[in-house]
Amino acid sequence: MSAFKSKRELRKILNRVLEELDADPKLGPKLRAAGLQQRFEISDLGLVLNIGPGDESVERLHWKFSDKIDWKPKLTMKMSADVANSYLQGKENIAIAIVRKRISTSCDARAALRYFPANRPILDRYSEIVAKDYPHLAI
Amino acid sequence: MDAEISLAEASRRAGVSTATLKRWAEEGLVPVRDGRFTAAAAAQGRVVARMRERGYSLDDLREAAQDGRLAFGFSEELFPGVEESISPAEAAARTGLEAELIERLMTLLGTPVGREGTLNAADLKAMEHCASVLDSGFPLIAFLQLVRVYAQSLRKIADAEVRLFHVYVHEPLMRDRVAPLDMAGEMEGLAADLLPVAAPLMDYMHNRYLRFYIEQDVVGHMEEGETRTQRGLTRVKMALCFVDLTGFTRYTEEEGDEEAIDLVERFVDSVEATLPAESTIVKTIGDEVMIVSRDPVTLTEWAVGFLGLFQERPRPRVGLHYGSAVYRDGDYFGSEVNLAHRVVNRALGGEVLVTEPVRDAIKRSEFLDFDPIGEVNLKGFPAPVELYVVRQAAD
């Protein structure tokens, strides 16, 4: 049993993180410009989140909670819900988590170079939301 | 807009005669609006005077002035000149420090008294602060190292500030062909806004890092490994790690300098973004990053996990050694550091290569496998060194 009350709860938080970042006048354009093509798979909850390249013409970041997407992920991260909660609060060192098999990844080198620093706002916003509205998930 | 000042005042500020300043204004070397002098014009006059002293011709300076290349005279306003002139002997009498020590400190600060001859009021104030530190009982040997680190770090910061301001502010204004006087005004305004926030920002970062390293120091005291050399230098037992990108020279040749710099920046960002909290980047030299940690286990795990993220060229490689290094001036020295550096040079792209002390320190790990590659001759080391390739443990 994970710290999340349900799959729906995690999905709701992630959706809120991305909505808030997308609407943020400073972070939104940065995140879109990073050109993320990243897939999160939360194995024990059966949750998939695909973040796609931003569409500058409509100034929107694309994300979908399914694999029915028209872009190819460049970075895939697979982990359990508890590890996801820890990683998203910046408490999980990605490189060490990979070695300890807590997170598995597949990616190209350029994506790794670009995405991990670009993920920082997602982690920061997730931590803020958890601290404020989901204290049972705070680590 | 810049207020008008008299020609006499402008000439005093520029440090040249009224006739010279007037002539420079007529020749377009100093920007005046409708024949009126301003602080910015006087500041540029001062810049022209200095450039003349350095041997630049009036033609060169006229061309530079017209392009706006001399519009940095605003700095004269931000950093008012200090006219007081104090000899080292007088400074010694006023601070209680020995004149020799004052000269040594000023040399460390990069403004040798030998070059300038005297101290100004700001220098004297700095010497008074130094005297207070030493009066409080802080050892001189440690203080001199600290001053050297301060000077080296702040010199680098100031250099970056000026270069980045030049590239991102001054050059775009020149490209847009903004009139020199407007350019000077715009740059002075921006610099005046930025300068007051630089010190609090640095203060904040300093406190933040200080807090972090105090915690690290507490952890260090709980562990073994700190010794003194015969000359009183500190030796610390650390995991010493070098990471670089294999084939970076070839990548630069093929992709060009800008692409290569972009890659290095993103590479170093990724190292910083993923490094365990107890590890520290000591320095970066081109595509090479030197990292230290008191914990060889997490640093080795990080290295293996980090390299696993890179499947395409140019792939990083890592060399790791665990040994005692001499700590001085914020850096680590000695043969153990040299050994770690030699180890990375033997690694292939995507490979983490470690010495026996690293393997011994980790002992058994359920996450890592060590494959011995045998004894390897490393340049500069008389005896062959046993090396191991570390990989993620097989399922």
B147 neighbors B130 (Cβ within 8 angstroms): yes
Nearest 5°: CA angle at B278, between B273 and B280? 65
Indicate the helix (H) or strand (E) that contains A54.
strand A47-55
Please list, in sequence order, all residues whose beta carbon lies within 8 angstroms of the beta carbon of residue B161, skipping any fewer than 6 positions away. B198
Please name the residue that has the structure tokens 């300043």: B21
Least confident of A34-48, A50-64, B46-60, B311-325: A50-64
Q: The complex's ipTM?
A: 0.77
SS (HEC) of chain B:
CCCEECHHHHHHHHCCCHHHHHHHHHCCCCCCECCEEEHHHHHHHHHHHHHHHCCCCHHHHHHHHHHCCCHHHHHHHHCCCCCCCECHHHHHHHHCCCHHHHHHHHHHCCCCHHHHCCECHHHHHHHHHHHHHHHCCCCHHHHHHHHHHHHHHHHHHHHHHHHHHHHHHHHHHHHCCCCHHHHHHHHHHHHHHHHHHHHHHHHHHHHHHHHHHHHHHHHHHHCCCEEECCCCCEEEEEEEEEEEECCHHHHHHHHCHHHHHHHHHHHHHHHHHHCCCCEEEEEEECCEEEEEECCHHHHHHHHHHHHCCCCCCCCEEEEEEEEEEEEECCEEECHHHHHHHHHHHHCCCCCEEEEHHHHHHHCCCCCEEEEEEEEECCCCCCCCEEEEEEEECCC
Is the full-model pTM beyond 0.80?
no
In this prediction, residue B79 carries a pLDDT of 66
Instruction: State whether B302 and A95 contact (CB < 8 Å).
Output: yes
How far off is chain B from A35, nearest CA to CA, in Å?
14
Tens digit of each residue's pLDDT, chain A (139 residues): 678 899 999 999 999 999 999 888 888 888 887 778 889 999 999 999 999 876 666 667 889 999 999 888 888 999 999 999 999 998 888 889 999 999 988 876 566 667 777 788 899 999 999 999 999 999 8
Q: How far apart (Å, rounded) are the C-alpha atoms in residues B74 and B232?
A: 47
Residues of A in contact with B306 (CB under 8 A): 95
- Segment B180-226, tens digit of pLDDT: 777 777 777 787 788 888 889 999 999 988 888 787 776 666 555 66
Which of A91, A99, A122 to probe by mutation at the B interface, max B CB count within 10 Å?
A: A99
Q: CA B369 from chain center: how many Å?
A: 38
Among B273, B303, B309, select the one facing A117 at the smallest CB separation. Answer: B273
The answer on pLDDT for B82 being more than 70 is: no
In this prediction, residue B113 carries a pLDDT of 54
The answer on pLDDT for B15 being more than 60 is: yes
Among B266, B275, B367, select the one facing A100 at the smallest CB separation. Answer: B367
How far off is chain A from B254, nearest CA to CA, in Å?
16
Q: What are phi and psi of B319, to 5 degrees?
A: -120, 130
- How large a percentage of chain B has pLDDT more than 70? 91
- Segment B344-384, tens digit of pLDDT: 999 999 999 999 999 999 988 899 999 999 999 998 898 99
- Choose between B187 and B297: higher pLDDT: B297
User: What is the secondary structure of A1-16 as a DSSP string?
Assistant: --SSS-HHHHHHHHHH
